[in-house]
Structures are given as C-alpha cells and as structure tokens.
Amino acid sequence: MSASKNLCEHTPSFSEEDCEIALFRAKWPDGFRCPRCGGFDFYRIVSRGRRLFECSSCSHQTSLTSGTILQGTRTPLVKWFHAMHLMHSGISAVLLAELIQVTYKTAWLINHKLRFAIQVHDEGRPLAGNLQLLGDFYARPVTNRPADPLEYREEPVVAGASIDAESGELAEVKIKRMSAKAFNRRTFEVDSFGSFLWRHTTEDRTGSRHIEIVKASGREGVSELGAVWRGAIGWLARTFGGIGPKHLQAYLDEYCFRVNVRAEGFNALLTLCSRTRTITQRELVRKRFGVHAIRWTGRTYLVKLSRSLCIS
C-alpha cells in the first residue's frame, strides 16, 4: 500500500486533451502527414465517438492511435500515459492494475506492449565503438522445480556496453540472453561472446575496436557494468520475484532502456509507442523459448522486427 501511495504522489495528472496533443506531437513531430499520400492538410472529424483526421487530398481517414502500439485499444489514453510514466519506475502488472484501475489482464497487456516498443527500438541500436562485456548466468531459484529442464534453471546472459570515447564511462548498455550452445562456459574469454558481438554490435571494419572483458566485481570493488547487471537482477527479484525464460529478454530490455535514457524515459517511451506498430496478445503469449541470432546488417525493418522479436 505504501509503495502504491508513493507512486501516486509522484505521478503527474493527465487530461484526455493533454494526452491527445502529446500523442499528436510524438506521432507527427513536423505536423500531420497522411499515411496514404503524404499530404499535410487535414480535417478533424468525429465518427462514432472516435476523433479522426481526414486528409484533404485523398480523403483517407486515420486516428491518433492508428499505426502505433496503442492501435485498437479500448483503454483511455490517460491510463496509457500513466502506465508509460510508471514504467520509468519499473512496475509490476499487479501494482499497475491497482493504480490505473484496470484488470490485471489489461495491465499485463499494456506493460508488455510498452516493452515490445522498447524491444523494437533496441534492435535498431547496436552497440558501436569500444566495448565492455560481462558474462554471467541468471537463475530464478525461488520458482525452480526439480522437474524443470536445466535451461529453465540457469540462463546464460551477456551484459555489454559501448564506451564513451571522452569520459571512458558507459555510453549505452544491453543485457541479452544467450543460448546455452552459444555461451556455455564459465571461463569467459572473447570467444564466449561471439554470438553477442555478431548480433548486437556494429561490424568493426577498421579493426581498431577495443574489447574489454570485465567481471561483476573484483579487488577494486563492483565494476560499472557489474553494477548495471546486479541492478537488473535486484529489480527483477524485488518487483517480480524473478522472471522465467519466456519473457526474460523483454524485462532485461526494459531495464536497459531506463538506464540508457535516464530522466528522459517518459518522453522517449511516448515517442517509441507512437512509431511502433502494435502487437496482439496472442503473439505476446505464444511459447517461444529459443534465442535466435540474426546478424545486424545496418538496416532496420520495423515491420519484420515487430513480428519476429519478442519472445525469444
């Protein structure tokens, strides 16, 4: 109760009009653009309670939520905006349902759609430049059962970060699940990170990239990348009691997103949601446990990503 009260006190108030204006600006930062003909002029119309935009050139009608992660939703924009703000704190579906007064099923779907928008964004931003890498294993002992396969009990994970050339600090971080075949050793050398480098970093065409393998902690204390990894583990344990393999990657991407964008989390998430096509609940809950490596090619196909990412 105290946690929900504290979150409520720090959540800004949104009106339906404020939400529509903010979504309009996020979706069309340079002004309205017809998705069919690219026209800039439009009429505002109301049809069956829906606010639509009709292109003056081709008469095509579109809505604010069309082509976004919110498409087809019956939940008011105000509740979506509250969910986006609360995700910056890393909130569970149980607590979100209580705070925005929706069912658990709706809260779960909202949270996972927001995470999906983050995942699509993450896939289009490979790490570049000099890197730090950390290998470890994520385990969920609280829910492990003797009958569970070994791959359920311990998940190989690589935390990677690009390094700022001037400050030497972490510029951007990623934490990715690896398959046991691609990462099955506890003696960590560069070869152990081949799958991560192949999938989540840009190609080193100059041959000048420096890669440093670090540990979570050593004689000098906890490393900077180790602190990020331990922060992710702690958040998953405190908030959810641990996460199973099915959706683990989505939660790890969410955590890294907050680390990377810092105070700009809400605005960044709103922008992602306005530019990411929605995903259905059926696609979110389908069972896929494998981790498939697809090499970064320098091109981003959001439609393909939106149908192939998740739930590995």
Instruction: Indicate the pLDDT class of residue 32, thresholds 50, 70 and 90.
Output: very high
Give dist(CA 176, CA 136) in Å, integer. 11
- Cα dist. 136→89, 131, 154, 225, 250 in Å? 25, 17, 10, 12, 18
* Dihedral-angle region of residue 207 (phi above 0 means left; psi in -120 to 50 means alpha; beta otherwise): left
Torsion of CA 81, 85, 88, 92, to 10 degrees: -70
pTM of the predicted model as reported, rounded to 2 decimal places: 0.85
pLDDT interval class at 146 (50, 70, 90): low
Domain ranges of the chain: 1-19+70-124+247-312, 126-238
* 188: pLDDT strictly greater than 80: no
What is residue 179's predicted lDDT score, i.e. its pLDDT? 79
Q: Are strands 154-163 and 170-177 parallel, antiparallel or unpaired?
A: antiparallel
Question: Per-residue pLDDT tens for 41-100?
Answer: 999 988 766 789 999 999 999 999 999 999 999 999 999 999 999 998 899 999 999 999
Q: 201 burial class (0-12, 13-18, 19+ CB within 10 angstroms)? A: buried
Residues 6+ apart with CB under 8 A from 120: 272, 276, 302, 305, 306, 309
- Cβ neighbours around 285 below 10 Å, total: 13
Task: Give residue-wise pLDDT tens across range 90-143.
Answer: 999 999 999 999 999 999 999 999 999 999 999 999 999 999 999 988 875 444
Q: What is the pLDDT of residue 143?
A: 47
Higher pLDDT pick, 149 / 51 = 51
Q: What is the structure's pLDDT at 210? A: 94
In angstroms, how far apart are the furthest CA atoms of the chain?
68
